Structure 1
Amino acid sequence: MEQFESFLVEHLPSAASFHPHYELSLHQMLISGGKRFRPALLLGVVRAYNPLLTQSAYHAAFAIELLHTYSLIHDDLPSMDNADLRRGILTLHKTYDETTAVLAGDALNTYAFEVLSNAPLSDRVIVKLVRSLAHNGGLNGMVLGQAIDCYFENQRLELDQVKMLHIHKTGKLIAASLQMGAMIVGRDDIADELYDFGIDLGLLFQIQDDILDVTQDEVKAGKTTNNDESKNSFVTLLGFDSAMREADTLAKKITKRMESFDENLQCELSPTLNHYINRHKD
């Protein structure tokens, strides 16, 4: 992941102009850290089956991180979560202004596909990767989840509806990361299995985030916390104890499914997943 981080820094979006901070706004959230969870999943699948393609896969991993970062910038906007802190620093609309934040998010969204289109992979593979990223990050994926999340603030949803919300908002991009890794190495035979695994992983990730929102302060979390009272979070719907039980059940299911993977895939994914599977207990 250190090599991926170097790749990210070397390929930061460039947009030289007389604008005083446009280019800086494109870099701020990318270089301020982040878990790099989604790139790590994609690269783990690639290393498991064809390590020689790892460097070529950096483009796809970066594209996912770009799309994810754009979603965070927009998620923090005053019209959405109105958050002040992200990745341990001020959000873009606080550093600059709301217009800059909107446009920076737009730019990173489209730059993701520019980076992906330039990946040193076959055109056939690139088209499949673009399709997966666009589908899972776009109108029937992450954006749909965000739309439901925002529209139903202060309106109680049923558990199945909350799961649908978060499968789209969080799960689908995580699932796409695993699926795209399989596509890069020509393992389409396991792409669907990894995608389904990623949906469960995304749900767990979201339940954990909801739990951490009420148990961590802003310094430890690196972002605005205790900001979900009006949202359809798992903690708001189920209560803290039931949300913890739901997370435990899902963590056990994910661990069991991971044990069914072949040895190479387990070896590559375990360091990343073991760090996150039980983070709600930390």
Structure 2
Amino acid sequence: MEAFEAYLSAHLPSAASFHPHYELSLRQMLQGGGKRFRPALLLGVVRAFNPLMVESAYPVALSLELLHTYSLIHDDLPAMDNADLRRGMPTLHTTYDEVSAILAGDALNTYAFEVLSNAPLSDRVIVKLVRELSASGGASGMVLGQAIDCYFENTPLDVEQVRFLHIHKTGKLIAASLKMGAIVAGRDDMADRLYDFGIDLGLLFQIQDDILDVTMSSEEAGKTTNNDSAKNSFVTLLGFDEALAQADELARKLLERMESFDESLRRELSPTLVHYINRHKEQL
């Protein structure tokens, strides 16, 4: 991922003006690091199916990271999670002010589609990618999940409702990362299969986050933890032991499904997936 990280650094949003910190606010959370999980998934699929397209896929991977980062900035706002730490550094609304954080999130959201529209791919492929990213990250995807999460704070949901919440808030963008990789690589025949795998991967990712929220300090996690008591988290709903059991079972099933992937796809995705599928165990 070093090459992608260099690409990201060279394509940070630029908006020179006399505003004292606007441009800095657009870059801060991107430069603060992060797992780059979604770009790694997309690039892994492209590398497995069509390695000659990897460099052309960098803008697509960046668009995912931009959209994800915007969602984190807004998720941390006082009106939502009111968190003061993200990626090991102060959140934007604590560094600057709430208005700056809102506008930085807005800017990264739209910049994601600017970057994607300029990718060195055919217009036909770009339209497919825009459709996928906007559907998974927008009104009926990630934003819907966030709306449910915020509205039902302090109101317990049942298990299926919590699954629906987190499939939308977390799962769909992870699933889109895999599907978009297949589209870039010209393997539309694998797109839906990878998307379905990604939905379950995203669900595991969220259960793990809920587990890590109660087992790690903010310093260890690089973000505000122990902040979910009023949220519809899997730990809050099921209890720690049952949430851990469900994570273990989902991890087992995902590893089994990976065995059905062809050798090149397993080879490229395994370094990323095996770590994340088992990350809840590594912290216990």
What range describes the TM-score normalised by the shorter chain of this pair?
Answer: over 0.9
Q: What is the CA distance between 1:5 and its match in structure 2?
A: 0.2
Match of 1:136?
A: 136
SS at match of 1:189: helix
1:191 Cα shift?
A: 0.2
2:75 counterpart of 1:65: no
TM-score (norm 1): 1.00
Name the structure 1 match of 2:80.
Answer: 80
Unaligned runs of 5+ in 1: none
User: For 1:260, what is the secondary structure of its paired residue?
Assistant: coil
Asked if 1:35 is matched to 2:31, the reply is: no
Partner of 2:7: 7
C-alpha displacement of 1:219: 0.8
- The amino acid that maps onto 1:185 is A
Equivalent AA in structure 1 for residue 57 of structure 2: A
CA distance in 1, matches of 2:192, 2:49: 16
Q: Which residue of 2 aligns with 1:273?
A: 273
TM-score by length of 2: 0.99
Cα distance in 2, alignment partners of residues 276 and 15 from structure 1: 35
The answer for the alignment partner of 2:261 in structure 1 is 261
- Kindly report the root-mean-square deviation, in angstroms, between the aligned alpha carbons of the 2 structures: 0.3
Aligned counterparts of 1:20 and 1:152: Cα–Cα separation in 2: 38
Amino acid in structure 1 at the alignment position of 2:263? E
Q: CA deviation at 1:100?
A: 0.1
State the partner residue of 1:185.
Answer: 185
Structure 1 residue 152, shift from structure 2 partner? 0.1
Separation in 1 of the partners of 2:182 and 2:281? 31
Flag structure 2 segments of 5+ consecutive residues without an equivalent: none
- Counterpart in 2 of 1:99? 99
Amino acid aligned to 1:83: A
Number of residues paired by the alignment?
A: 282
Instruction: Give the distance between the partners of 1:116 and 1:279, measured in 2 at CA.
Output: 31
**Separation (CA, whole Å) in 2 of partners of 1:182 and 1:20:** 41
Q: How far off is 1:233 after superposition?
A: 0.1
Amino acid of the structure 2 residue aligned with 1:243: A
Q: Counterpart in 2 of 1:199?
A: 199
Q: Deviation of residue 67 (structure 1)?
A: 0.1
In structure 1, what is the equivalent of residue 170 of structure 2?
A: 170
Distance 2:157 2:26 in 1: 35
Structure 2 letter corresponding to 1:230: A
SS of structure 2 residue aligned to 1:14: coil
* Runs of 4+ more than 2 Å apart: none
In the aligned structure 2, how far is the partner of 1:193 from the partner of 1:113?
25
Instruction: Report the Cα offset of residue 99 of structure 1.
Output: 0.1
Question: CA offset at residue 216 of structure 1?
Answer: 0.1
Deviations 1:62-118 (A, max 9, x none): 000000000000000000000000000000000000000000000000000000000
Aligned-partner residue type, residue 173 of structure 1: L
Match of 1:237 in 2: 237
Deviation string for 1:164-203 (max 9, x for gaps)? Answer: 0000000000000000000001101010000000000000
Residue 214 of structure 1, CA deviation = 0.1
